[in-house]
Chain A
Amino acid sequence: MEARDSSSSSSAAANREGPSAAEDEAVLSVAAALAKDAALHFQSGKFAECVDVLNQLLLKKPDDPKVLHNIAITEYFRDGCSDPKRLLDVLNNVKKQSEEIARASGEQVEAGGSLASKTVSGSKSSTLAHPLSSASSANIMYMDEFDTCVATVNIAVIWFHLHEYVKALSVLEPLYQNIGPIDETTALHICLLLLDAGLACHDAPKSADVLIYLEKAFGVSCTSQSDNGSSVAQQPANLVGKSSSLPSSSLATDASNTELVSNNASEKGLSRTLSEETLDYDPVLFDIDVTRPTGLSLSNDILRNSVDRSISSVDLKLKLHLYRVRFLLLTRNLKQAKREVKHAMNIARGRDSPMALLLKSQLEYARGNHRKAIKLLMASSNRTDTGILSMFHNNLGCIYYQLGKYHTSSVFFSKALNNCSSLRKDKPLKLSTFSQDNSLLIVYNCGMQYLACGKPFLAARCFQKAGLIFYNRPLLWLRLAECCLMALETGILKSNLAQDRSEIRISVIGKGKWRQLVFEDGILRNGNVDLERGDLVLGSDGEPKLSLPLARQCLHNALFLLNGSELSYLKSIFPSNSSVDENDTTDIASSKNLNHKNLQNIDLKASTVAVSLGQINANGDAKEQKGGTTQELVQNSLTSYEDTCKRENMLIKQALLANLAYIELELGNPIKAHLNARALCELPECSRVYLFLGHIFAAEALCLLNREKEAIEHLSIYLSEGNVELPFSQEDCERGQVDRTGDCEELNGGQASAKNSYSQDVEGIVFLKPEEAHAALYVNFASLYAMQGEFELAHQFVSQALSLTPNSPEANLTAVYINLMHGKPQEALAKLKQCSRIRFLSSGLTSNISS
């Protein structure tokens, strides 16, 4: 190996050191043979033998990181895959070690290089420079020896199987950024893993990036929508044709250019070339034009050669189609997803692809065709595999949840969980066992189902478990807070019974002439709820301890995450925008984000991707059609998804702020309540339901802060000509979701039938009816006026409230209050006794006086 070194000094050295070099060669060839052996054992699953061989190899090459790496992998398999965390540690160590060696040798190379440039006597310097005889000088440039790529991929694989998608992504990211030098098989692995991880954590921009890269780099375009079968057939032929054109054309260019390259172009020669060039350029360029695609087809060829070992190109094509479907489903581009599924099914014809079927079912589920989704799920053939079975059950559970059949869905969810737990007991373990154990994901669905059934404690327990995976999703925290609120609402949180808001509770104290009626504490709803401190999440027994402070904490978490995701979304979206048009981006970006310049500089890869994307667009019509559809499709989905996400985040933010304002009121913090309520009112495109809550909470908080005038301003928004308007309509309630039909559908003409079927199932906001909200406004107006001593107005408003909701405890109580304030106790008593929703309780404290 040293003999091959180019510098004359070291080749001289190699000559002198002939014997030792030969020894090295011998060691190397033995090692190579052993390595081959080990690989064979590994492939055939003989892990014990493989470890033996590897240990022999380790004797030859002590501390070689790659050997150590393979030993770790093999031992892991040999020991039944029981401890992925340990393997993770080992791999991380190997990686670190490898990097250290690389750094050390890098320093030596520099030292060696400087010595060589001084052309000091060869032998000594080279031996000094390369004490690691096995890592010969040939490797200086060629860092393969210390390449940690495979180890890194394996680390990511483990994280992926442990459901730590974000970690997997962050491990893979540096590899992806510099994927060029990585060999195709590994690169493909990296890309697919990135896609899976990206899709799993809903990272649409990342997924889009990888999808586009995959199709570009691996030449598996999934474009033509009409003739799939034929294009599959065509492709090999194309490849052959193109690759055969390569040698001739490159020779042709060589021939025509030898003149240009010729050493001492005399003036005459040059002028000749110049004058001819005006003529010649075009043919030459034409030549180049012809050869240009060869670069692409070449990589295709290589790909076929190297990747075919693991995946046939049709398989890969199918795979990519399915990834595209998943991407489109994630970005809710349902129409395109439908097309893609069709193509995928065409390609998969005759093959067993449970994935394709499940995706199709998911598509129908997403479109709201729940019956069809169930049918497709039932049609999936493979139900022997426990892992698949748990997915099957879980997905059925999702469908029944959407159909509003919560009890059926709970049956399926618990079946899915059972599948998972039996999966864990399965022997022998596989790494995929961990990833197939989706219990932490299913448990989130369970939580939603318990929440829907009104069981806040069970729901909270589920969300708490799911938090191990979903801790960075704002929705999870919102749901936990909702558990707390539900516990409060159903009276579980408060120990005194006064919290049932459907009726007025009055204690009757004493008898006869001494009889007194006492309004219970807490009927005011302005009371302080218990302020518990200490461990917010868990009680002493590990059960979630639902409380309002916990709810507040959860909501703050969610808000924090939401604000963070808005920022990062801008960041990740930006590069893909830049690919559209370099010139426009500055305008778009500057209006969007002042930091765009930093972003532009930060992401080198992004800009190169952008360049290459642009290239696809600009190069010729044929190419534009080919690459453009993917590019455009992905881009369109991405931008519309960005919109959807924005709207969804907006909605979540409204819910968060409304809940926060409410909780601060409950906890007796009017200042914070006011801040949150005001923020809610100031949100752009705030839904009318939440706007109503924002105003009503803000008004109350302001009253508590002695700022009645401002409070009235908040309520007066609903006042026109002395009448109070309906704060929202029934349709506003139904708009509890970001519109499912979205832009994509509308762009493509929309689907009336699909839309109809949505609206049947859409589960709106379960809230006050519009007229109840209306009455609530009247009640609050009445109270406000009563506080200011304007009893006439107060009477008017409260009678409006009573006419809208005659049985409302609030309205009745307000009427009683106003009468009392007005000094009419008899009327108040009469009113109280008329009310239908009232319960008189005898006070329990009459006995044991004489203690």
Chain B
Amino acid sequence: MSEKNMSTKNNNNNNSSKKKTKKKMTLSADESVKLFNLLRAADQRPFLEIVSDFESSFPALSFSQFVVSFSLSTLLQDKKMLNPAQRLVGFAILHQAYNNKSSANSNNPFLPLFITGACNEEAERYERAFILQLLSSDSSPSPNSKEQFLKQSASHYIKSFDPSLSLHVFPKREQLEQQYGVKAHVEPFNCPFKDASLLNALPDPDLPHCSDPNSSEFDLQHGAKPKLGSGDRDETLIGLLSSLSLEGFGPPWARPIPPQLPVQDGELVWLNPGDNHELLWDYSMCVDTSRGTVVRDLIAKALKGPLAPSQQEQVLLELANDPKLVYHCGLTPRKLPELVENNPLIAVEVLTKLINSPEIADYFTVLVNMDMSLHSMEVVNRLTTAVELPSEFIRMYITNCISSCENIKDKYMQNRLVRLVCVFLQSLIRNNIINVKDLFIEVQAFCIEFSRIREAAALFRLLKSLE
């Protein structure tokens, strides 16, 4: 119900707004009546008066003027639809409306119509003469005389026409076309739909069988009883005026409207009671925030030197008791090397707890880049068993270990480091922390280089056994 109301309401809105915006391809009722009345006045009023009325009703160069002119031209193409006087008026309008001072004949869109009319052997001679006069009026020298013939009415023109006058020599079509440059005036672009469009009106005379449609028998007689097949021309005329479409009747084309997309899974909103998320009270308000001070102090100490076993135990316990404490113990990636060197166990514990924090990547970077030592290896080794380390990190660490061994100058220190690395690698391999294949060549080369060291030989044997 309400839907219906709304739609009609909307219709009205559309109607009112449309007048402003839509390009109508047909004449409105008002416009048709106006044009019709102009045509009807053909018998009494002079051409010029009618033309100027036309121009005031349909502003020059407006779209509606073009639609009117088009309808008019369509009617002119049908010989019977307009009476002779009306036809002359029609031609005059079409000519005058588009032949301003600025534009000559060649710009008139209806020029082909004029030429066809002028060359039509079947047409009345006065009509052809009139058209020729129209066409030539522009080129005539004195503007005053040119419109002299338009100051009479159409019926007067017809009456006073002297067919015997030799003045009326009708030129050939080609001659006219050449004179007015019709060929040059081809519409620049059109589409097949338009090219192929037909007049959208189709005569369908409703007549008794075997009667001559051209006889005046069936014209409506005033006062007489209408008989079958009779009709009023004026009625048809005004109907046609309002229906003739600029677009005409083009080839039909099936343009199916796209279907609605069926409702998708999960598109309809299914409602579930959610968690009742309440506002939180901030319990940390005015709370003694000194928790962890002890650990922080101890960590600070641990950066400077090894902690006593009891202290170390305390740190580990405190860290274990409060999983969040690790974030507040004052350790930063920059300080990690000191912690590793002095208290590797605490470092392991801290790193293990930080494994899920985004900062862990920074810690790893620091760990990889610090000097190789027993303690750093110890930390990495323990980490590998406690948590999953990024394999990239382990690989880089091992590479660093090996290159450290190679670069060290002091023979004694080198031996020491090589042994450490070997033990470390063995442990990694035994615990399946690293995939030997990834590092096989590198490690093998390392073993061979330091084969004089017992641990390296052992590592080599281990590698071989795994092959």
Contacts and interface: CB of A to CB of B under 8 A. Distances in A.
Nearest to A388: B273
B201 A518 contact: yes
A278 B296 contact: no
Interface of A is mostly: helix
A503 B52 CA distance: 43
B153 interface: no
Contacts of B283: 39
A304 interface: no
Interface residues of B, number: 155
A141 B274 contact: no
B21 A531 contact: yes
Contact of A288 (B229, B253, B320, B385): B385
A387 B266 CA distance: 21
A589 to B, nearest CB: 16
Contacts of A139: 289
A706 interface: yes
B293 A767 contact: no
Interface in A441-494: 441-442, 444-445, 448, 451-452, 455, 457-458, 475, 478, 482, 485-489, 492-494
B358 interface: yes
A737 B193 contact: no
B143 interface: no
A398 B270 contact: yes
Contact of A319 (B275, B285, B312, B328): B275
Given A57-B286, A510-B236, A524-B252, A764 B262 contact: yes
A388 to B, nearest CB: 6
Interface stretch (A100-108, A186-194, A338-346): A186-194
A849 B255 contact: no
B233 interface: yes
B14 A495 contact: yes
Given A253-B345, A285-B385, A516 B240 contact: yes
A704 B193 contact: yes
Interface stretch (A630-638, A718-726, A747-755, A772-780): A772-780
Contacts of A487: 7
A829 B251 CA distance: 16
Contacts of B290: 1, 4, 138, 142
A612 B198 contact: no
A357 to B, nearest CB: 10
A838 to B, nearest CB: 13
Nearest to A765: B259
Interface stretch (A12-20, A118-126, A224-232, A652-660): A652-660
Nearest to A814: B252
A141 B281 contact: no
Nearest to A295: B352
B201 A517 contact: yes
Contacts of B293: 1, 4, 138
Contacts of A523: 252
B330 to A, nearest CB: 5
Contacts of A307: none
A295 B383 CA distance: 13
A428 interface: no
| Residue from B200, B202, B204, B229 whose CB has the most chain A CB atoms within 10 Å | B204
Given A260-B344, A485-B257, A511 B230 contact: yes
B431 A514 contact: no
Interface in A131-160: 138-139, 141-142, 144-145, 147, 150-151, 153-154, 157-158, 160
B345 A192 contact: no
A524 B33 contact: no
Contacts of A520: 243
Given A153-B280, A662-B258, A846-B239, A142 B388 contact: no
Contact of B13 (A35, A545, A662): A545
Given A270-B374, A512-B205, A615-B388, A441 B269 contact: yes
A775 B254 CA distance: 9
Interface residues of A, number: 223
A700 B255 contact: yes
A532 B354 contact: no
A182 B316 contact: no
Interface in A696-754: 696-697, 700, 703-706, 708, 736-738, 740
Given A4-B293, A391-B271, A662-B257, A254 B345 contact: yes
Given A274-B420, A776-B254, A706 B249 contact: no
A177 B252 CA distance: 62
A160 B277 contact: yes
Contact of A510 (B196, B235, B353, B430): B235
Contacts of A531: 21-22
A283 B320 CA distance: 23
A611 B390 CA distance: 6
A147 B327 CA distance: 13
Nearest to B21: A531
Contacts of A525: 252-253, 255
Nearest to A416: B271
A282 B205 CA distance: 112
A507 B419 CA distance: 105
A511 B218 CA distance: 10
B239 A516 contact: yes
A448 B267 contact: yes
A141 B356 contact: no
A533 B21 contact: yes
Interface in B319-333: 320-324, 327-328, 330
Interface string A191-216: 01100100010100000000000000
B256 A299 contact: no
A513 B356 contact: no
Given A398-B270, A530-B21, A817-B249, A509 B388 contact: no
B376 to A, nearest CB: 12
Given A181-B328, A703-B193, A843-B243, A6 B300 contact: yes
Interface stretch (B24-32, B97-105, B157-165, B166-174): B24-32
A514 B236 CA distance: 6
A697 B391 CA distance: 56
Interface string B37-53: 10000000000000000
Interface stretch (B55-63, B88-96, B184-192, B399-407): B184-192
Given A532-B21, A545-B10, A821-B196, A489 B285 contact: no
Nearest to A294: B320
Nearest to B420: A274
A644 B264 CA distance: 11
Contacts of A658: 258
A263 interface: yes
A327 interface: no
Contacts of A73: 279-282
A160 B275 CA distance: 11
Nearest to A71: B285
B144 interface: no
A52 interface: no
Contacts of B122: none
A254 to B, nearest CB: 7
Interface string A607-632: 11001101100110000000000000
Interface stretch (A62-70, A233-241, A560-568, A590-598): A62-70
A512 B271 contact: no
Contact of B33 (A138, A250, A391, A849): A849
Interface string A769-813: 000010111011001101110000000000000000000001001
Given A4-B293, A289-B385, A706-B192, 13 more contacts: A250-B320, A261-B345, A281-B427, A285-B431, A457-B7, A510-B239, A513-B206, A516-B239, A519-B201, A524-B247, A608-B357, A659-B258, A829-B202
26 contacts: A138-B289, A142-B292, A144-B289, A192-B277, A200-B274, A260-B375, A288-B386, A295-B386, A302-B321, A366-B265, A395-B270, A457-B7, A513-B207, A515-B206, A516-B236, A521-B25, A525-B252, A526-B247, A604-B361, A659-B258, A690-B258, A696-B256, A736-B262, A766-B262, A820-B202, A825-B203
